[in-house]
Chains A and B, each alone.
Chain A
Amino acid sequence: MRCLLEIKEVSKSFKKDKRKVKVLNDVSFSVKKREFVSVVGPSGCGKSTLLSLIAGFDEYDEGNIYFKGEKVIAPSPERVMVFQDFNQLFPWKTVIENVLFPLNVNKKETTLNERKDLAKKYLKMVKLEGYEDYYPNEISGGMKQRTAIARALIMKPEILLMDEPFGSLDAQTRMQLQTTLIELLEEIETTIVFVTHDIEEAVVLSDRIIALGKSSNSIKDVMVNNLDRPRDRLSNKFIEKVKKVYDKIKE
């Protein structure tokens, strides 16, 4: 079977002070449909760059990225990104208007009421019932990220790209959002590529963990994570797994 997403020998460098700095070096992996893959690594290992290449925001220098067998050359609503930045919501729109935005601008063949019902359904899924008419500056960071997830999911993307979406949240809120995301996985049929520097987060969420190294800017290891769900963060197996991933990454 062909994979949903295939990354083949991708390299990317940026120019800095007339010098080429390599951020990704010969990276290859693939993601199957409905799989949850996390990419972990220290700051500067190129994990966010990798995600932005998959989204089609940036061009890669070498190699190929295939999505459903076709080369990725531009952004598409089939590959939706959720960012870390709380600013990703439009401040001039309420929570529900933000979620409605992708539907409204694409004007699919539905009435506004149908679209509103759909938006409410997704807001309920991310546990934001009752906050529909708040503006982003009136809600907390965690709620903003929930809204952003609802806005991304309403497009029914084939693949959801998440770039450290919980990275700016406090520990407790972060765990709450992780729990919500795990619950969502049962309701939606989306493939997820999740970038994080938090190893515990990767272990609690994903089916497979890709470790990127900073010095090499390439893949150090790909680890299958088949711990039973729901995962208990305090179980020995869980802690062992976290340790194993940590050992791979540290340099």
Chain B
Amino acid sequence: MTNKFMDNKFIIRLFWIVILGIIWQVIALSEVFNLTSFPRIETLLASLIKDILNGDIIIQTLYSLSLIFKGLMLGLIISIILSGISMISKVFEGFVDTVIAIAHPLPGIALLPLVILWMGIGERAIIFIIVHSVVWPLTLNLLAGFRAIPNIYKQIGKNYGLNSLKIIRYILVPASLPYFITGLKIGWARAWRAVISAEMVFGAAGSAGGLGWFIFKKRVFMDTSGLFGGLIVIILIGIMIEDLFFDKFEKMTIKKWGMSI
């Protein structure tokens, strides 16, 4: 039943992608727009394949992903510490709430000029932006998750002789998993957008440069097909992580357990 539905969804997606492709091709072939700025699909795909084969796009994608991974990990650690201390100390809770209220509405990209002044351009600055994008939504969600845990769970933990550390490890952490996943999804989405923009502004300072730099470079050389290739990769990775990875992870965990929020 579910499998059939999945197939259907997949077929529906494919159908509309093909339709959109045909519309695109018709517009391109009609030459209403200049072919260099509105390339045909085969030129576009050929350019993408060329960039994949010579490794350019792969290296830059991996570089962007590695930056995100570092930023996410760092953000995760900071969030766990911030939310953990908030749960223990009332004083600190007020502090964290205030900091989140100030920092959360600030888009990462708006911080770029300041970060450049403080840290220069380079990997450290990009990771700073990523951490900023991740830490606030994740902390907010972790806090919401901890607060939403039924009191009865803690009572059961104490009843069976668990100390505070074991209660956190065996009860509070798994019980807040739905909120954790939500936080991670928002964090990822923000980090992914932040990293592409930051790379475009920073360029390839110090190393290979990432996907953002890749599409920026293509623009500079008026390589529209290459630029679209970069965009396609960005879309594909977004779909892969948001629709496939998180979806699958949720199906294996909170959806199976009936814990979705």
Residues on A facing B (Cβ under 8 Å): 55-57, 74-77, 79-81, 83, 85, 87-88, 90-92, 101-102, 105-106, 135-138, 155
Taken together as a complex, chains A and B put the C-alpha atoms of A41 and B215 apart, in Å, by 73
In Å, the complex CA distance between A135 and B159 comes to 22
B43 lies within 8 A of chain A by Cβ: no
Chain A residues, Cβ within 8 Å of B170: 101, 105
Q: Which of B2-10, B53-61, B66-74, B149-157 contacts A (4 or more CB under 8 A)?
A: B149-157
Residues of chain B lying within 8 A (CB to CB) of residue A102: 160-161
> Using a CB–CB distance below 8 Å, which chain B residues touch chain A?
150, 152-153, 155-156, 158-162, 166, 170-171, 174-175, 177, 253, 256-259
Q: Provide the bound-state CA to CA distance between A9 and B163, in Å.
A: 31
Q: Name the contact of B259 in the complex, choosing from A80, A92, A105 (C-beta under 8 A).
A: A92
Q: Which residues from A are CB-within-8-Å of B153?
A: 90
A167 to chain B, nearest CB (A): 14
Query: What number of A-B contacts does a CB cutoff of 8 Å give?
Result: 63
Known: A77-B159, A81-B155, A106-B161. A90 touches B256 (CB 8 A): no
- Asked whether B159 lies within 8 Å of A80 as measured between CB atoms, the reply is yes
- A88–B171 Cα distance when bound, in Å, is 12
CB distance from A50 to the nearest CB of B (A): 15
B261 to chain A minimum Cβ distance, whole angstroms, is: 12
Q: What's the Cα separation between A106 and B160 when bound, in Å?
A: 8
Which of B152, B161, B166, B257 contacts A135 (CB under 8 A)?
A: B257
- Give A102 to B158 CA distance when docked, in angstroms: 11
Contacts of A55 on B, CB cut-off 8 Å? 155, 159
Q: Are A155 and B158 touching (Cβ within 8 A)?
A: no
Contact partners of B156 in chain A: CB under 8 A: 81, 88
Rounded to whole angstroms, the CA-CA distance of A74 and B160 in the bound complex is 11
A83-B152, A90-B174, A105-B166 as given contacts; A75 in contact with B257, CB under 8 Å: no
Please tell me which one of the listed residues A87, A92, A101, A135 contacts residue B150 in the complex, with CB atoms under 8 A apart.
A87
A102 to B, closest residue via Cβ: B160
Chain B residues whose CB sits within 8 angstroms of the CB of A136 once the complex forms: 257-258
> A140 CB to closest chain B CB, in angstroms?
13
**How many Å from the CB of B231 to the closest CB on chain A?**
39
CB distance from B165 to the nearest CB of A (A): 11
Jot down 30 A-B pairs with beta carbons below 8 A, ordered by A. Answer: A55-B155, A57-B158, A57-B159, A74-B158, A75-B155, A75-B161, A77-B161, A80-B159, A81-B155, A81-B159, A83-B152, A87-B150, A87-B152, A88-B152, A88-B156, A90-B153, A91-B257, A91-B258, A92-B175, A92-B177, A92-B257, A101-B170, A102-B161, A105-B170, A106-B161, A136-B257, A137-B257, A137-B258, A138-B258, A155-B160
Q: How far is the CB of B6 from chain A (nearest CB, A)?
A: 21
Q: Give me the 8 closest cross-chain CB pairs, A-B, nearest first.
A: A137-B258, A102-B160, A75-B158, A91-B257, A77-B161, A75-B159, A92-B174, A92-B257
Instruction: Establish whether residues A85 and B152, one from each chain, have CB atoms under 8 Å apart when the complex forms.
Output: yes
Known: A92-B253, A135-B257, A135-B258. 11 other contacts (CB 8 A): A57-B155, A75-B155, A76-B159, A79-B159, A81-B156, A90-B153, A90-B174, A90-B175, A91-B258, A92-B257, A137-B257
Q: How far is the CA of A147 from the CA of B118 in the complex (A)?
A: 58
Using Cβ atoms and an 8 Å threshold, which residues of chain A touch B150?
85, 87
